[in-house]
Amino acid sequence: MFRFKKFQVYKDSKEFVKFCENVISKTKINHNKDLTVQIRRAMLSVILNIAEGSGCDTDKEFSRFLEISLRSVYEIVAAFDFAYDINLISELSFKEIENKAEQICKQLNGFRRSLKNKNVQL
């Protein structure tokens, strides 16, 4: 019934979100409430848009939700980049987030491409 739970990109995105949450909870970024609230919203947006989009009637609609997820990943990276710039997280933490985010972006883009190439109703 909840087919999104079978998608590898959904599973990997949840792991990415958990990793980001761990960085937030163990670093000085946790003391910047506005920044952490914004990051957490973006983190949830990544996985929730995959889930919500999986309920769409068409691949085109689903692809739009995956694009929103993708944009949320960019937002997460930008927020952590800023946190790194103001010394709230280490370079190592930022690089790990950036590398994991890159993988999620590749998966989301690949999924979008496969939907576009399929071009049929789900």
When pLDDT is cut at 50, 70 and 90, the band that residue 120 belongs to is very low
The pLDDT tens digits for 82-111 are 999 999 999 999 999 999 999 999 999 999
**Model pTM above 0.75:** yes
Provide the residue ranges of all domains of the chain, joining segments of one domain with +: 7-20+32-116
CA distance 95 to 89: 10
Q: Which of helix, strand or coil describes residue 58?
A: strand
- Contacts of 83-90 with CB under 8 Å at 24 or more apart are 83/27, 83/29, 83/32, 83/35, 87/28, 88/27, 88/28, 88/29, 88/31, 88/32, 88/35, 89/23, 89/27, 89/28, 89/29, 90/27
CATH of 7-20+32-116, one of 3.10.150.10, 1.20.1440.60, 3.90.1150.10, 3.40.1160.10: 1.20.1440.60
